[in-house]
Chains A and B, each alone.
Chain A
């Protein structure tokens, strides 16, 4: 049903766009997910002195040059944000709000995530702690749910959950205005720890505690191993080898997401290596499938 891309690239920072440019030169069918300004980190850099050939350039200026380069090569950015990517075996299934994209190879160039998980978060993941309230809401019919919300989407999710759960608490972690259903109780406090025995029992905040059967944490960016289940992550970075291969076949990673140093040229070099190896992977697979199909043709 959905067309299959050769390579999906997630992230439009220096690593992702370099990967896209190199894959495109090799004539691969690509899809690049990201943002209009490419990368906040690039856009906001006041002055860059270590980008060879552009001493003293501003991040914004460099971003504009990058965009011109993409335009020149007819590379479009898809302004969407993959929620989950599943390794299906011979392809990757990329889910965005229930919509599905398919790609044979995958390059992760999502940059680094700030913010540490709460105490108890990892321990109770799947035993009351979750990252997608709408996904699991029906399991909380008649129960108490707490939502820690970092963005606009978390408001929508809270409102939806409040139609099913008996009681919903909302802990806002953002500054913007929001409007919640009247039956949601807002708690203005700072989450500290998630506590329970075999499953979640309560959320401990700086000045209070909430008894709760479920706690959903809705952040802007999910850790890479949440984005791609089964991906091997070490010290919060995706584990790669010199070829930028991850532990999942056909999945590559590049840029800050693979580890320090966090620098433009390192990110771009890795993006290039990742793209070239993804191309080699596609060619290997093609050879293999030809090799298998030839004998059965009986010639």
Chain B
């Protein structure tokens, strides 16, 4: 299940004991629409090993600015609150899992 994060809960959520993936997206972004369902599948596959979340950049501009998100979709990976990885743009499921494996 992909959890929605925002300004209110972001800092809390990224401190989780399992690594946290945050998908920065917006409703007007085509590639984001395609990445969404792929990340849903990733969430199922990595259940218990990684938390998959998404953040709407239109509604949460401060966080987007803080992490220098200048192109979406951007995916950030956090480990106990620290940013450990980022990738930009759509990626197929296998490539995402491969990238995430080193963090879990």
A interface residue numbers (CB < 8 A to B): 84, 86-89, 93, 95, 98, 125-128, 130, 135-136, 138-140, 198-200, 213-214, 229-230, 248
A214 vs B68: C-alpha distance when bound (angstroms): 11
With contacts A126-B74, A139-B69 known, is A229 near B29, CB below 8 A? no
Query: Are A84 and B68 within 8 A (Cβ)?
Result: no
A214 vs B38: C-alpha distance when bound (angstroms): 28
Q: How far is the CB of B64 from chain A (nearest CB, A)?
A: 7
Interchain residue pairs with CB less than 8 A apart (22): A84-B31, A86-B31, A86-B92, A87-B92, A87-B93, A88-B34, A89-B92, A95-B30, A95-B34, A125-B88, A126-B71, A127-B71, A128-B71, A135-B31, A136-B71, A136-B72, A139-B64, A199-B70, A213-B70, A229-B89, A230-B95, A248-B92
Query: Are B90 and A84 within 8 A (Cβ)?
Result: yes
With contacts A126-B71, A199-B68, A248-B92 known, is A139 near B31, CB below 8 A? no
With contacts A84-B31, A89-B38, A89-B41 known, is A136 near B70, CB below 8 A? yes
With contacts A88-B34, A88-B37, A95-B30 known, is A229 near B91, CB below 8 A? yes
With contacts A229-B90, A248-B92 known, is A139 near B68, CB below 8 A? no
Of the listed residues B64, B68, B90, B92, the one surrounded by the most CB atoms of chain A closer than 10 A to its CB is B92
Chain B residues in 8 Å Cβ range of A199: 68, 70
A87 vs B72: C-alpha distance when bound (angstroms): 17
Chain A residues in 8 Å Cβ range of B94: 230
> Which of B69, B72, B92 makes the CB contact (< 8 A) with A230?
B92
B interface residue numbers (CB < 8 A to A): 26, 28-31, 34, 37-38, 41, 57-58, 64, 68-72, 74, 87-95
Query: Are A93 and B34 within 8 A (Cβ)?
Result: yes
With contacts A139-B69, A213-B70 known, is A98 near B30, CB below 8 A? yes
Known: A127-B71, A139-B57. 11 other contacts (CB 8 A): A86-B34, A89-B92, A93-B34, A95-B30, A125-B88, A126-B74, A136-B71, A138-B28, A139-B71, A140-B70, A229-B92
Of the listed residues A84, A135, A198, the one surrounded by the most CB atoms of chain B closer than 10 A to its CB is A135
Chain B residues in 8 Å Cβ range of A213: 70
Chain B residues in 8 Å Cβ range of A86: 31, 34, 90, 92
Of the listed residues A88, A93, A126, the one surrounded by the most CB atoms of chain B closer than 10 A to its CB is A126
Chain A residues in 8 Å Cβ range of B68: 127, 198-199
